[in-house]
Amino acid sequence: MHLRLNRRLGPYRVVARLARGGSSDVYRAFDTLARDEVALKLPRRGDGERERGAFEREARAQARLAHPNVLPVRAAETIGEHFVIVTPLGVEDLASRLRRRLAPRTARALAEQLLSGLAHAHAAGVAHLDVKPQNAILLEPERLCVSDFGLARVLRRPRWASGSGTIGYLAPEQALGRPSLRSDVFSAGLVLWEMFGKHLPIWPFEWPLPGAARIERDFGPAVVAVLRRALAILERERPPDARALLAELRAALGGHAAEVHGAGATAVGARSAA
């Protein structure tokens, strides 16, 4: 389904199509009541019961996660014959941002926000299952929100069948239909490696991965070790969820900051003595 530009859906006037996915389209629209711009997400393959049910599950999963780093759902409703998910309009997605230079300080801030949003979801028992740069939206240049919970599942059992996801960011067990919260850890590890090292690792991994030297230089060897653990092929060798990965990353980054600060202080002292 393709919406005509300038078409009205309830209070929303369609301005442009922003993205086309396998099952949905995302449009830029103007909210004539709130007088601001929003993003509209609609099913692409018609409005059958299956597609409507999937969208309603996505809206419920995302709406129940109230966190600064989870993209808020402003509305999820049927307008005419269409079910529409309405969210704030982002500046760009992380995939677009990664095409330009990303300073280490900015990369660190965005990485922590990505993991904070996932950690909140994991604390609620929700696995995202499609973590990738395209599903991280920047509402402001340095404010990131996790988005697109279309594959998300609320865990009621240790396992459930699902082989869906995005090739290149998919954990091995998820590809086999056995995902868990650790599958999100693996995918997030790939995104963080891409952010910090400027390379997306391709499985099967051969260590050291491309970008390892850059990560060690900019963030310290402890960060390389944390990401290597997140990218372990065996689930049991990874952090159990995004909360644990975030804690490990912060500890590693904090240690590196202390080392850099100490080195700077030593250098200043040496110059003063001279």
Whether 148 is a known active-site residue: answer no
Contact (Cβ atoms closer than 8 angstroms) between residue 243 and residue 185: no
**Identity at 175, one-letter amino acid code:** A
| DSSP code string of the chain | --PPTT-EETTEEEEEEEEE-SSEEEEEEEETTTTEEEEEEEESS---HHHHHHHHHHHHHHHT---TTB---SEEEEETTEEEEEEEPPSEEHHHHTTS---HHHHHHHHHHHHHHHHHHHHTTEE----SGGGEEEEETTEEEE---TT-EE-SSS------S-TTT--HHHHTT---HHHHHHHHHHHHHHHHHS----SSP-SSPTTHHHHHHHH-HHHHHHHHHHT-SSGGGS-SSHHHHHHHHHHHHHHHHHHHHHHHHHHHHHHHH-
Contact (Cβ atoms closer than 8 angstroms) between residue 114 and residue 144: yes
Q: Which of 31, 93, 130, 241 is catalytic?
A: 130
Contact (Cβ atoms closer than 8 angstroms) between residue 189 and residue 227: yes
Nearest-angstrom CA–CA distance, 45 and 65: 27
Residue 215: closest CA among 197, 199, 191: 197
Catalytic residues: 130
